[in-house]
Chain A
Amino acid sequence: MMRPRRLRMIMACMAVLLAGPFASGDEIPLAARKSGSEFMSRQTQDMQNDDTSNPAMLWVLEGETLWSKPAGTANKSCSSCHRDAATSMKGVAASYPAFDETSSKVINLEQRINLCRTEQQKASPLAYESRDLLALTAYLARQSKGMPIEAKDDSRTRPFREAGEKLYSERVGQLNLSCAQCHTDNWGQKLGSALLPQAHPTAYPLYRLEWQTVGSLQRRLRNCMIGMRAEPYAYGDQEFVNLELYLMWRARGMTMEAPGVRP
């Protein structure tokens, strides 16, 4: 038998979700958008903004080493072609996912790094969430810190973005929820004890205190999907890349904070 108080709490939680305008499609006005860091405590914000206390900087340092370390049978390092990342990679992470001519589809930063590895360095691709790939993406993302997110809107990327938008607003899983129901319709409210942010990917890859490590945006998306009791897509699936593209487009013009810290 459920205690009445507990039942009332569950009803209240459901009411929050049901009260939101269903599949409203009313996007958050551009000026009303807030980065996830604005929902954090002051302490966590300070941790993110101070390079000496931001644990993700450990990955950035490692990425810096990897940048100039030769790999693969071609014995080339990233810096053999791209030279100094501070100039050549400035703003790059802020404009990914981007269209790739060869495969005629949109790819994300991790896939771009792995393309370089297989095509140029003749090395094996790095696994998703491996320390090396996170270190390289963190190092690249760091070169875009403070720059505005630049999601291109052209005829080649639009179909992928629209596919991502569809995923964002489509209900999935046993809980029958969509991303939009929490992050567009009910941001700022609570889901259980967690505060719902607006889901702008301004700081990826980021150090999540809960994970005690750095993770990619796709790891976060998988988290949400598991929470909705939906079967998550595999790492690197086109669905995830499309969703990443839509989220970046939705956050266009917002400031890159990567590598961030989140609770």
Chain B
Amino acid sequence: MARALVNVPANARRGDIIEIKALISHPMESGFRVGTNGKIIQRDIIQTFTCTYNGEEVFKAKYSPAIAANPFISFSTRATDSGEIVLAWRGDNGFEAVETKQITVE
């Protein structure tokens, strides 16, 4: 199971710019390395990261094999309404990790 460390402020004032930080446990195997048996180690990376805020996509990133293991991402968005912030990572071998955080906006 993938472990993620997600930091979303629990409270914000309407119109504030909030910072979202997320760290996920993933090997990010590049697909270019050779194993001890002389064979290429199959690529295993996260391909996309998306963040939706009350169903609306506010941030998206495409990952490449050059990104290190356990990738960290930080970005900002504007607090509009109370609700759900959903972070999702999807990648090779059917990898999927979804984290949901609640935010209260006043």
User: A residues near B, CB below 8 A?
Assistant: 51-53, 55, 57-58, 61-62, 209, 212-213
Contact = CB atoms under 8 A, between A and B. Distances in A.
Nearest to A212: B69
A58 B72 contact: no
Nearest to B6: A52
B101 interface: no
A93 B30 CA distance: 35
19 contacts: A52-B5, A52-B21, A53-B72, A55-B23, A55-B70, A55-B72, A57-B5, A57-B23, A58-B5, A58-B23, A58-B25, A58-B70, A61-B3, A61-B5, A62-B3, A212-B28, A212-B68, A212-B69, A213-B69
Interface of B: 3, 5, 7, 21, 23, 25, 28, 68-70, 72, 74
Nearest to A65: B3
Give the 3 A-B CB pairs with smallest separation, nearest first: A212-B69, A52-B7, A55-B70
A226 B68 CA distance: 25
B51 to A, nearest CB: 15
Nearest to B70: A55
Contacts of A209: 68
Contacts of A213: 69-70
Contacts of B72: 53, 55
A27 to B, nearest CB: 37
Consensus secondary structure, chain A interface = loop
Contacts of A58: 3, 5, 23, 25, 70
Contacts of A212: 28, 68-70
A52 B68 CA distance: 17
A233 B92 CA distance: 38
A91 B47 CA distance: 41
Contacts of A61: 3, 5
Contacts of B70: 55, 58, 212-213
Given A212-B68, A212-B69, A52 B23 contact: yes
A194 B21 CA distance: 31
A105 B69 CA distance: 38
Given A52-B7, A53-B74, A58-B70, 20 more contacts: A51-B5, A52-B21, A52-B23, A53-B72, A55-B70, A57-B5, A57-B23, A58-B3, A58-B5, A58-B23, A61-B3, A61-B5, A62-B3, A209-B68, A212-B28, A212-B68, A212-B69, A212-B70, A213-B69, A213-B70
B95 to A, nearest CB: 16
Given A58-B5, A61-B5, A209-B68, A53 B21 contact: yes
Contacts of B3: 58, 61-62
B76 to A, nearest CB: 14
A51 B74 CA distance: 13
A212 B72 CA distance: 12
Contacts of B21: 52-53
Contacts of A52: 5, 7, 21, 23
